[in-house]
Structure 1
Amino acid sequence: MIPWLLAALSLCTPGTGLPPRHMDSVIRMVEALESPHAGVTVTVAELARALGGCGTPGCRAVLGEPPVVPTAPPALSPDRWQLLTRLLHRDAAVPGAVLAPDGSTVALGPLLAGIEVGLRRAGGGRVPVLDPPVDALYAVTIAEALGTSFLLARAGAGATLGPGGCWDDVDDPQNYTLLGPPSPVPDAVANGAMDGVLLGNRLAGDPIRVAELLRGYYGTGNGTEEGRPPSSYRRRDFGALAGPGKLEEEVLAMLRVLRALPPTRELLEAVGAEEEAAIARRAARDFTERYVECPAIVPRCMWGARPYRGTPKPLALPLGSVYIHHTFSPGAPCRSFAACARAMRAMQRFHQDARGWDDIGYSFVVGSDGYVYQGRGWHWVGAHTKGYNSRGYGVGYVGDFSATLPDADTIALVRDELLPCAVRTGRLRHNYTLRGHRQMGHTDCPGDSLFREIETWRGFVPCPGPGGSSDDTIEAEAEGRV
């Protein structure tokens, strides 16, 4: 494999005892570097490039050779300077990834590269014109990474996108471990790239200090309870700004640029024009399906799940049904990563300790923070709808929705994103049926208001379903009451 790609294929790093790898830490460093007495002669984005945040051939072709690596600025303590250097140094084992307040993990390289393009455009700075022409904002954030990833996998070997991962401690994140085989575009890089496009585009039209931009976009404090930050809308906003046609166009243009660069020329030697176009089309399609049309799902290790008790029973996919629940208690919707993670842990404790189940009963739980939380997940039988657990997924909304509804975005998270995604990925049949929990047992779940809402959804069936199979009868009825 080409040596400069090796750094993109791992996001796990040993503990360092440095400041936590929170976005908050980054914002505080940026704030210090932007102060009038910082003693820094380059912008924060240029400093990031000097430290290796834009070390790939395509990024260097677009933004130019990086400045000379500076000495530690007096505005940063030795610990903060060491953290920043580790987060951005391309020769390190890890591309710098940090935990954002919304619970997502963001790679700093593409984020700050996009910010540099925005700053240059806002200030009339020079962005080289390449042949063929590329949109610099997409080139340095996502187009090169996508093109390279799908080039490497063109023979059918290797992952092209993902995986996600988990931090060792969300309060003091130091180590981030991937949950599967690595690709050049793991979830952290995808998040950083989408954020880089969105924030670079905003800076180009409304130049403000980078610290102010980051603070407003990500929110402040990992435990903020003040509602959804703009970063939790990154998939929706990126999709609105960069449709698949735009993304395909930019990946194709970047592949043609890479063909002329010595480090990447060998990847394209045997690739003709038709195959090049097919690679760009597939890359844009797959990225859009995974990161724009499907919702982000918070894995169990991120919300602090206990281990499953016993041996999970596999589901036979695709399933034919979905059962909608509300948790009833917690009765208030959770509107932040910290609050939703607490609710998940509380429900799991109740289901395991009070009900005696092997795990949290739901397949998935929906927060009002913009995220779906993994319960039993796509592949394991849950304990959500007595008699029907092996036939369908149980999806529970956090809150009591007897008299009120989840907000429109939270309703759409399941109706317009999770369920269509499950169909596209082969986990749910295209002609699936959807019912409220009350139709399958003696319960008011999912509450009168939410039930009236799901009556309007695709697949809703007004009558009760058939009896469950005999292997479901050992499962208890679950309403998630905590």
Structure 2
Amino acid sequence: MYKSLCYCNISTITRNMNGFIKAVESIENENPGLSMLEVVKGIRKTVGFQTNLIENYLGDESDAHNLAMKPSVAAYVSEVVHHKVSKFGEEEGVVLTLDGSNVALAPMLLGLEAGLQSTTKNLIPGLYPLTLTENLAASFLHHAQNEQTSVPLGSKGFWDSIKSPKVYTLSGLPSLATDALLTGGIDGTILGSEVAKFNHLEISLSNLLKSYYSHKLDLAGLDTAPRLISQKRRINFRTLLRFSSLKNQVADALTNHLGFYKNSDRKTLDAVMHEGFEKFAYLYAVCPNIIMRSQWGAAAYIGSPTYLSLPVPYLFIHHTYEPSKPCITFEQCASDMRSMQKFHQQTNGWDDIGYSFVAGSDGNLYEGRGWNWVGAHTKGYNSKGYGVSFIGDYTSSLPVKSAMDMVRYDFTKCAVDAGGLSSSYSLYGHRQAVSTECPGNTLYQEIQSWEHYKQKRSSPLTNHICFPRCPRGTRATLRDAHMHYKRRCVHAT
């Protein structure tokens, strides 16, 4: 997915993690013998990244090495590390990673530096403030004072190109804690904790970043993958983080913003913090990583969508059948999503891709019609339920366990907690509502052990697709490809 890096024209640089890693490799080659900590501090000094908060925890940058590096490399690093959002909504200091995440480099590097210079494994001075709490506190306060023109956290965006990303533009209302800043902060927390616990004197910064961000999954997906990779970010974050401690630090950071007290009392402050933090935990620790439509390159919805009445009572499980192979990379899954949407719109004549959400084997859940729009996944029940499909043909095999767990546990909890899915929802296979082989025999057998599965059709789950009768002496077969029903008559045996 990554193209070769060119530092020649900063206005056209490719902003992906692979490009940044190549720049780090160049710096390491120009400065042999330096430790990972010396390289990280040297990069911070080179780009002039220093605030009172950073100095308080990491010290003055003046004692860092003056790294030798090519002018083009220095300009490139400065360009991709400095974070800011332009008045046009373009977010800088963000790179696209192989797993489809958008990562702000500054909080990731600050977390690493805090961990590298820590003298204790369990308490890393400044780790949370440098990676997460200051951004969260600033965003919560900003939103409290600008409720109509901002969101508390998590503004996402889209790249001008997935293969060669150069410009990242935020969608919708902005926040001071964008999705990329929080993802970078989470990575900084994970990597900072990792280097503080284990001896990493022999590993270089570029190799650490490669092992974390550039791991390529095999057909087993996350099931057999190493522990410390970006695709397992949320798993590691949930395991590592003490949320009560982080919540207390966010509250302390809010208290330090004395200007807010001039117009608000402590009760208001507490309400702002509690609501914001609960949403943060919900979005970044409970829910699966959801790749938004703009991120996978969706075409526009045709016409005007119909909105669901939430919460919906049903969840239907599908397989795509075609594509028949699981996707194990963000690039391939995004391509499959575009292919299915094109088929549904241009061949089936639908307004959009039919599914509500689609599970890849890459660790991501892909937004189809999403939380609020009526789908085209289960005839007769599109307005009453979500349709979640697994990419692949699961007639005689199962999706990888990590993908099934993502739907079975993470998605359903996220959907119920958000008020999209009823807490007493009923789970069905597609074939229980429509005459089809979907979601495949093997997957259908599997979901019968899932929570909320309903064995018998409960009224009114009796709709079928009707076709003309086959001639005498033949029988009908029905296949489901992209929910495009193909019926043919074959000789009876």
Greater mean alpha carbon deviation, residues 363-372 or residues 443-452: 443-452
Greater mean alpha carbon deviation, residues 283-292 or residues 46-55: 46-55
**SS in structure 2 opposite 1:453?**
helix
Correspondence 1:117 to 2:111: no
Correspondence 1:139 to 2:136: no
How large is the RMSD of aligned CA atoms in angstroms? 3.3
**SS in structure 1 opposite 2:117?**
helix
Give percent identity, aligned residues only.
37
Partner residue, 1:10: none
CA contact (8 A) 1:16 1:174 kept: no
Change (3 A) 1:52 1:277: farther
What's the offset of the Cα at 1:167? Answer: 0.5
CA distance in 1, matches of 2:83, 2:434: 56
Change (3 A) 1:453 1:76: farther
CA contact (8 A) 2:321 2:480 kept: no
2:393 is aligned, of 378, 400, 407, to: 400
Query: What TM-score, normalized to structure 2?
Result: 0.81
2:96 is aligned, of 95, 99, 103, to: 99
1:20 is aligned, of 14, 18, 39, to: 14
Change (3 A) 1:352 1:186: same
Q: Which amino acid aligns with 2:154?
A: G
Change (3 A) 1:286 1:314: closer
Correspondence 1:480 to 2:492: no
Change (3 A) 1:180 1:38: farther
Correspondence 1:200 to 2:192: yes
Partner residue, 1:245: 244
Deviation digits for residues 113-154 of structure 1 (CA, Å, limit 9, x no counterpart): 0011122126x9xxxxxxxx9841111000111122223334
CA distance in 2, matches of 1:44, 1:149: 31
- Greater relative contact order: 1 or 2 (C-alpha under 8 angstroms, separation 6 or more)? 1
Change (3 A) 1:31 1:397: same
What's the offset of the Cα at 1:81? Answer: 2.7
What's the offset of the Cα at 1:50? Answer: 3.0
Deviation digits for residues 437-466 of structure 1 (CA, Å, limit 9, x no counterpart): 010011111112211222222221112244
2:205 is aligned, of 193, 206, 210, to: 210
Correspondence 1:164 to 2:156: yes
**SS in structure 2 opposite 1:322?**
strand
Mapping for residues 1-400 of structure 1, pairs under 5 Å? 17-35=11-29, 37=31, 43-50=38-45, 55-67=50-62, 75-76=69-70, 78=72, 80-89=73-82, 93=86, 94-121=91-118, 135-154=125-144, 157=147, 158-206=150-198, 207=200, 208-219=203-214, 227=221, 230-255=229-254, 259=256, 264-268=257-261, 279-400=272-393
CA contact (8 A) 1:50 1:69 kept: yes
Q: Which amino acid aligns with 1:110?
A: P
CA contact (8 A) 1:327 1:400 kept: yes
CA contact (8 A) 1:134 1:253 kept: no
What's the offset of the Cα at 1:155? Answer: 5.1
CA distance in 2, matches of 1:323, 1:239: 28
CA distance in 1, matches of 2:385, 2:312: 6
CA distance in 1, matches of 2:278, 2:299: 36
Q: Which amino acid aligns with 2:409?
A: D
What's the offset of the Cα at 1:321? Answer: 0.9
Correspondence 1:455 to 2:445: no
Q: Which amino acid aligns with 1:238?
A: F
Change (3 A) 1:226 1:409: closer
What's the offset of the Cα at 1:213? Answer: 0.7
CA contact (8 A) 2:363 2:403 kept: yes
Deviation digits for residues 1-46 of structure 1 (CA, Å, limit 9, x no counterpart): xxxxxxxxxxxxxx95432000001101111112254799983322
Change (3 A) 1:100 1:272: same
CA distance in 2, matches of 1:178, 1:424: 26
CA contact (8 A) 2:114 2:127 kept: yes
Q: Which amino acid aligns with 2:171?
A: L
Query: What TM-score, normalized to structure 1?
Result: 0.83
Q: Which amino acid aligns with 1:28?
A: K
CA distance in 1, matches of 2:112, 2:364: 25
Q: Which amino acid aligns with 2:132?
A: I
CA distance in 1, matches of 2:83, 2:64: 13
Change (3 A) 1:350 1:46: same
Change (3 A) 1:243 1:457: farther
